[in-house]
Amino acid sequence: MEISGSTAFYAGLSTIQTGQNRVDQASSQIANNTIERSVTSQSSEVQVDRLRSVDRSQQSDLASNMVEMSQGKFQVQLGVSVAKASDEMLGTLIDTFA
């Protein structure tokens, strides 16, 4: 029996990696927005008034980044489930035929 790299186990690992990348990207975007907001909090009133329209768009970005983080979390959980199920099936098949 040949075990190739195209098994469900590797698909699960790939899904885990993709989910982790999604969470990393979203969290870095959130961190960048937080840093930008702290800089604007030290600005003058005129600058703050001009930047308030930007803050509104950043709030929607914050919400979408939070959704991306949640999706990444679920993607990692599903990848773990696929990898675990594949690992259990592989062990069962080998035990049965050994």
* pLDDT, tens only, 42-94: 556 666 566 655 555 556 688 889 999 999 999 999 999 998 888 877 766 55
Q: Containing domain of residue 47, as a range?
A: 8-97
Total structural domains in the chain?
1
Asked, for residue 51, whether it belongs to a domain, the answer is: yes
Average pLDDT of 2-27? Answer: 84
Model confidence at 1: pLDDT above 50: no
Contacts of 85 (CB under 8 A, 6+ apart): 8, 12
The answer to whether residue 23 sits within a structural domain is: yes
Q: So what's the pLDDT on residue 87?
A: 80
Tell me the CA distances in angstroms from 88 to 2, 67, 84, one per residue in order.
Answer: 17, 32, 6
Instruction: Give the length of the chain.
Output: 98
pLDDT the model gives residue 58:
58
Q: What is the pLDDT of residue 42?
A: 56
Q: Are 12 and 86 in contact (CB under 8 A)?
A: yes
Distances (CA, A) of 80 to 11, 33, 49, 67, 85: 10, 31, 47, 20, 8
Q: How many CB atoms lie within 10 A of CB 94?
A: 11
Is the residue at 27 inside a domain? Answer: yes
The predicted structure's pLDDT at residue 97: 56
